[in-house]
Amino acid sequence: MKHKYKILFALSFIALLSSIMLSFYSTEQIFCSVGSGCDIVKNSPYNYTLGIQNSHYGIAIFGILLILLYSQIKRHSHVKKQLINILIVLGSIVVFYFLYLQAFVIQAYCKYCLVVDVTMVIALIITLIGWRD
């Protein structure tokens, strides 16, 4: 069981790093050329929710998830397990919405956003597989 949480921890750490890069670096600094998918997505109106950049939410959410996962690895708790599951399911719903926006509304893809998206989908699959445990 600890292996599941270690894998989820690693995935969340990768997503956190990607969120940090999106939050604090310009598209040129993260090796995306002007007019590329990253630039288009990052400069779209969909990059903000309630006036806050989406990647800032990612930093907060993945930070909380990392703390919960670390705590769960050290000392298992049913309550922490449920919180982790809820965060991953809710995060995955948001990720599917962002994938929809990139594919059908913005019609451009940001590679750093996709890193976050893919890690959350993998985390959801791992969570669903281990749901009964």
Give residue 131's pLDDT.
75
How do the pLDDT tens digits run along the chain, 133 residues long?
679 999 999 999 999 999 999 999 877 777 777 778 888 998 899 999 999 999 999 999 999 999 999 999 999 999 999 999 999 999 999 999 999 999 999 999 999 999 999 999 999 999 999 876 6
Query: Nearest to residue 82, comparing CAs of 124, 39, 131?
Result: 131
pTM for the full model? 0.91
Please tell me the class of the 2-24+33-126 domain: mainly alpha
Domain ranges of the chain: 2-24+33-126
State the DSSP string of the chain: -HHHHHHHHHHHHHHHHHHHHHHHS-TTTTT--TTSHHHHHHTSGGGEETTEEHHHHHHHHHHHHHHHHHHHHHS--HHHHHHHHHHHHHHHHHHHHHHHIIIIII----HHHHHHHHHHHHHHHHHHHTTT-
Give 129: exposed, middle or buried? Use CB within 10 Å, 0-12, 13-18, 19+: exposed
